[in-house]
Structure 1
Amino acid sequence: MRILYIFPHPDDESFGPAPVMWQQLEQGHQVYLFTLTRGGATKVRHELGLSVEEMGDVRYKEMLAVERVLGLTGMTVFDLPDSKLAEMDPREIEKVVKAHIRQIEPQVIVSYPVHGVSGFHDHLVMHAVVKRVFLEMKEGGSDYLKRLAFLTLPNKTEQPLQSGKFLMKHSRPDLIDCEVKLRPEDIEIMKKALNCYDTYQDVIKQANVVESIGDTVYFEIYQEDHKPPLANLTDGLE
C-alpha cells in the first residue's frame, strides 16, 4: 500500500510517526512524506543568526538526512510560508495538497488531529485542509483513498497534569482507533531520525520526545470506530 504523511514542518515526522513509518516500510508498504514548509521561521534561527530563508535551507538538509535514515519511498518539501499558513487563502493550500495526493495516489493519508497535538496554528490549518481535501477527492471519484488517520497522544487521565515548556494536546481514549506498538529497534530509529535535526537538539530534549512517545504511537481514524484499536494503520484494508 501507499501511505502518505502530510505535515506542515520539518521534524513533524520525527516527533512520533518516524518509527511507524519505518515499520510500514519493513512490511513492504510504500511510505511518502510531504511537508508544506521548510520550517525557516523557527525561533532557533535567532540563536544561529540566520534568516528565515537560510534556516529553511538548514532544516531541509536535516530532512534529507531523515529521509536516508528512514529509507522513505519518496519525500517532497514544499516552501509555503512557515508559521503563516493561517494567513493564507486555504484554497491555495488545498490546491498544493490535492496535486500531491493525485501524484502519489495513496490508500492511507496521515496528518494531525483537530487539536494539532501541539495546538500550533499551522497544525490546526493542516488538519482542516487535509480533511477537506480527502473528502472532496473521495466524493470526486478518487477511489484509491481508503483511510484518513491522525497522529495523536492519548489522554490517559481525566485532567492530565503537565509541567515544562511544552503543553501537548491529547485525544480521549474513545477516539483512539489504532495503537502501534514499538519494538526496541523502532525506538532506535526514532532516535536516529531526531538526531538528524542538529539545530533542534535543545528543543527535542526539552520536549522529552522519546519519553513522551514511549512504546506506542496512537492514531485517530476519521469516520471509523475500532474497538479494540487496530494494531496497524493498514489493518482491514488489504
Structure 2
Amino acid sequence: MAKEMLLIFAHPDDESFALGGTIAKYAEQGIRITLVVATKGEAGKAAGICKPEELGLVREQELRRAADVLGISEVIFLGYKDKEVPLSPPLEIVEKLVRVIRKIRPQVVITFGADGASGHRDHRAIHYFTKAAIRLAKELIEPEWGTPYILPRLCYVQSGWRLSEDVLQEIDYIISIEQWAEKKKKAIIEHRTQLFSQQKFEAMDERIKQNYYSREYFQCDFELSVFPGRGEDILADLERVDS
C-alpha cells in the first residue's frame, strides 16, 4: 500500500509557493498526496483576470491545475472564507480535519508553523486547528468520525529566506528539490491571479531565488510526532501507527 502524505493549508497557492518541489519529489516516488485547503482565497487580488465575485472559483481552478502539475492525488476544500479562518467554529473545523486524518491515515502531515510562515492570520490559525485535530484524532472518542489514528510525524514548512543562519542550523529536514524545480515553477505559474506575489519574488536577490528552487525546509514537531526525526527524507523510517 502506498504511503500517504497529508498537506493542510489555508489558501490555494500555499502548496506551490511553500513546498512545491517537495510535493513533486514525493509524488514522483509514488507517495499519495492529499491537500486540504481551508479557503478558496476569494478575498485576494484578481490581477485583472476575473471579477472579484468570481475569484474563489478561479482560484479553485488554478489550484486544481497546479495540483495536476505537482502530482497531488486529491484536493479537499473545507469551505471557509478567506481571511476569516480564525473566526471559524473551532469544533467544526477540527472535526473536519479529524475525519480527514482518520480516513487517510497519513505517515506525515505538513502544515504551517505557529508563525504561519508569512504571519498571515489564516496561516497561523490553520496551524493551531491542525494540531488540535491531530491530538483528537488519536483519542477513543467520536467513533462516527472514523477509527482513531496516531500520527507518525508532523512537520511545519519553513520559509528558508526568512530564517537566520543560526535558525537554519536547527532545521530538522532540508529537502533537495533541484530536480523538481521546473515543476515547482510551473505550478506557481498556474496561480495566475497571484501575479503580484510572483513579481515580488522575481524582484528578490538572485541568491534567494537560487536557494528557493534548490531546497525546502521543514521543522518536526517532536511533541506530536510518534517518530520525530531529522535528515534529508521527511518520510524516512515511517510505518503506519494505529491505536
* Bin for the TM-score computed over the shorter chain: 0.7 to 0.9
Consecutive aligned runs of 4 or more in structure 1 exceeding 6 Å deviation: none
> Secondary structure, in 3 states, of the residue corresponding to 2:118?
coil
Q: Say which is worse superposed, 97-106 or 134-143, in terms of deviation.
A: 134-143
Structure 2 equivalent of residue 200 of structure 1: 194
Structure 2: give runs of 5+ residues left out of the alignment.
141-146
Aligned residue for 2:175?
180
What's the offset of the Cα at 1:217? 0.4
In the TM superposition, what whole-angstrom CA distance separates every residue of 1:217-237 from its partner, at most 9, and x where no partner exists?
A: 0001111664xx311110121
The separation in 2 between residues aligned to 1:19 and 1:46, in whole angstroms, is: 25
Q: Report SS of the residue matched to 2:8.
A: strand
Query: Which position in structure 1 is the counterpart of 2:152?
Result: 146
CA distance in structure 2 between the partners assigned to 1:129 and 1:151 by the alignment:
16
Distance 1:101 1:143, change over 3 A: closer
Q: Which of these residues, 180, 185, 189, is aligned with residue 191 of structure 1?
A: 185
C-alpha displacement at 1:68, in angstroms? 1.6
Q: How does 1:60-209 map to 2 (within 5 A)?
A: 60-140=60-140, 142-143=148-149, 145-154=151-160, 155-157=163-165, 172-173=167-168, 175-183=170-178, 185-208=179-202
Letter in 2 for 1:149: C
CA apart distance, 1:93: 1.5
The residue aligned with 2:217 is 218
Q: Distance in 2 between matches of 1:90 and 1:30?
A: 28
Post-superposition CA distance 1:134-193 (Å, at most 9, x none): 1221244734521111101242346xxxxxxxxxxxxx235411110112x311000000
Q: Distance in 2 between matches of 1:23 and 1:4?
A: 14
**In 1: Cα distance, 2:212 partner to 2:183 partner:** 13
* Aligned mates of 1:46, 1:156 — CA distance in 2: 33
Indicate the residue corresponding to 1:231 in structure 2: 232
1:25-59: CA deviation from partner (whole Å, max 9, x where unpaired): 111211111111100011x14855623x4110010
TM-score, normalised to structure 1's length? 0.84
Could you say what secondary structure the match of 2:154 adopts?
strand
Counterpart position of 2:8 = 6
Distance 1:108 1:142, change over 3 A: farther
Cα deviation digits, residues 60-95 of structure 1 (max 9, x gap): 111111122122221122321110111222222112
Alignment root-mean-square deviation, CA: 2.2
Change (3 A) 1:15 1:46: closer
Distance, in Å, in 1 between the alignment partners of 2:191 and 2:11 is: 12
Counterpart amino acid of residue 178 in structure 1: Y
TM-score by length of 2: 0.82
Q: Secondary structure at the match of 2:126?
A: helix
Contact 2:39 2:77 in 1 (8 A): yes
SS of equivalent residue, structure 1 residue 39: coil
Q: Percent identity?
A: 27
CA distance in 2 between counterparts of 1:93 and 1:197 reads 26
Instruction: Look up the equivalent residue of 1:189 and give its one-letter code.
Output: K
- The one-letter amino acid of 2:217's match is Y
Aligned residues: 220
Does the Cα contact within 8 Å between 1:152 and 1:219 map onto a contact in 2?
yes
**C-alpha contact 1:107 1:144 (8 A) present in aligned 2:** no
